[in-house]
Amino acid sequence: MEEAMHGDTRSKLVLCECGKFHFTYRSMTLHFEREDFFAFVDSVARLGTLVKDSANGTAHHPAAVQN
């Protein structure tokens, strides 16, 4: 089992024997197929960028963004 621990230990990624990724963030654990995990990572990164961009220079930013 390969394990990658983020420096601050809030998040953890385990490549399980079953071939899936177990992504843990604080008390949440998500069980992903490999390709779903990478789609999830891309999606979170995009959404994070959208939220940051929309928060720039304004007090008003959307309560929800989607892609």
Which residues contribute to the site for Zn ion (CB under 5 A)? 16, 18, 20
- Pairing between β-strand 2-5 and β-strand 11-15 as defined by DSSP bridges: antiparallel
* Shortest Å distance, C-beta 49 to Zn ion: 30
Query: Based on CB atoms, which residue is closest to Zn ion, 1 or 63?
Result: 1
* Shortest Å distance, C-beta 15 to Zn ion: 9
Distance in angstroms (rounded) separating the CA atoms of residues 42 and 59: 26
* Shortest Å distance, C-beta 4 to Zn ion: 15
Between the two ends of the chain, the Cα-to-Cα distance in Å is 33
Q: Which residue's CB comes closest to Zn ion?
A: 16
